[in-house]
Chains A and B, each alone.
Chain A
Amino acid sequence: MIEFKGVNKWFDKLHVLNQINLMIPKGEVLVICGPSGSGKSTLIRCINKLEPIQKGEIIVNEMSVHKPTTNLTKLRAEIGFIFQQFHLYPHMTALQNIMLAPVNVKKITKVEAEKIARQKLERVGLSEKADSYPAQLSGGQQQRVAIARGLAMSPEIMLFDEPTSALDPEMIGEVLDVMVSLALEGITMCVVTHEMGFAKKVADRVLFMDEGKIIETGKPTDFFDNPKTERAADFISKILTH
């Protein structure tokens, strides 16, 4: 479903992605972790071309992401992206936020879009916040609206870039609960996170990155309990004591 073939990326001289080869099959829940600056966010931002790459190829649903002729609108419509800082549109209500892409990209009617939007809000447990503006919502609620917004396009893939890192501790749970239920539904997910509980519960595979390279991959229990590399072990001990 998602395939990285020898992907390399530089920010000026900094080699942020170093010869990445990766295959993510349909329905897999992949957790990506690693120290900050290791390239994990960049890795998933390349999947929907928020970042260009300099070498290699990424293929999503048989489309070569970085080929100039690729229909980016179609590609992105199939991929939901959740940001650390939510990035809801502040001038629109929760409902309008969710309806925007279905109406303007999929060109469905407003009535139909509103129906879907209300369903998705219910899905994330925020039916009563349909008419609230982002500024009136807590961080956890904003992130759940952002997830509902992503789901409204019925994507086959959801990408999460540290979805709980900007949240107060007591709000992390409500967002993770929504993500767990998505994972159990069989949607393909790539999640950049340090939430070990989430990884252990639903991840099919954990991928550990450092300095732009994939250092180690494995089943979550193997990875967290018996890391193969010293760098991974060192990293795990740090997030455990944290």
Chain B
Amino acid sequence: MMAFYFSRLVEIFPFFLTGLWMTTKVAFISLITCTLIGFILGMIRASNNVLLKRLVGIYVAFARGTPFVVQIFIVFFIFPEWGLQLEAFPAALLAMAIMGSAFVCEIVASGINSIPKGQWESAASSGLSKMQQLRLVILPQSMKVIVPPLVGQYVLLIKDTSVVSVIGVMELTRVGWVTVVRIPEGLMVFALVGVLYFSISYPLILLSNYLERRMAI
């Protein structure tokens, strides 16, 4: 019995590796875009520009307040009606960027807001421009507050990539679905899927814990 399981496992394993590779690609690209967009949005959200702040607020509320799977459907099935037709892979990346950047935005904004007003005033009164105040004085201090939850958010984002399977991206979860209809060892298939996800998210969990301990004052 074990031998049979094992031979099946060896047989399907390469297929799973291609799924893992796709998951890693979606996750990696998403983490970068979410971080970049999230930081920009977070800075706007913590700024004094009332109009832009509101707009970002609405965006964040929408992105955080609706299920990710619904957002993917909107990007993949509704955007084409508005003239933006995307393949499954770029559609998945776009949906991830919309959802993830909203979460990163909130983490960055609360990090910036955690810095006492006196630091802004002190930097402003020495003649630094608003951007310089942020870049040289505020952000370096906020990173302590931002980084631990940010890495935690990365773990969530990696797991959320599994949702893009619904529009047919051949990533790990999708590979699991496709395999399980062809062979009867369902438990083994999804156990393998789980283990592979764990192998990329666990190092980040450890990193998050470590940073939280190190950055605690």
Interface size class of B (residues with CB under 8 A): 10 to 19
Q: Given A76-B126, A89-B137, decide whether A104 and B132 contact each other with a Cβ distance below 8 A.
A: yes
* Chain B residue, CB-CB nearest to A50: B121
* Count, chain A residues at interface, CB 8 A: 24
* Chain A residue, CB-CB nearest to B140: A91
Report chain A residues within 8 Å CB of B122: 81, 83, 87-89
- The answer on a CB contact under 8 Å between A73 and B125 is no
Please report whether the interface of chain A is mostly helix, strand, loop or mixed according to DSSP: mixed
B118 adjacent to chain A (CB < 8 Å): yes
- The answer on a CB contact under 8 Å between A48 and B125 is yes
Report chain B residues within 8 Å CB of A91: 140-141
Partner among B116, B125, B137 whose Cβ is within 8 Å of the Cβ of A76:
B125
* Chain A residue, CB-CB nearest to B137: A89
A25 adjacent to chain B (CB < 8 Å): no
- Distance A83 CA – B124 CA, assembled complex (angstroms): 12
- The answer on a CB contact under 8 Å between B129 and A73 is yes
Residue in B123, B125, B128, B137 with the greatest tally of chain A CB atoms within 10 Å: B125
Report chain B residues within 8 Å CB of A149: 126
Report chain A residues within 8 Å CB of B124: 50, 76
B9 vs chain A, min Cβ distance (A) = 51
Give chain B's interface residues, CB within 8 Å of chain A. Answer: 116, 118-119, 121-129, 132, 136-137, 140-141
Give chain A's interface residues, CB within 8 Å of chain B. Answer: 48, 50, 72-74, 76-77, 79-81, 83, 85, 87-91, 100-101, 104-105, 149-150, 153
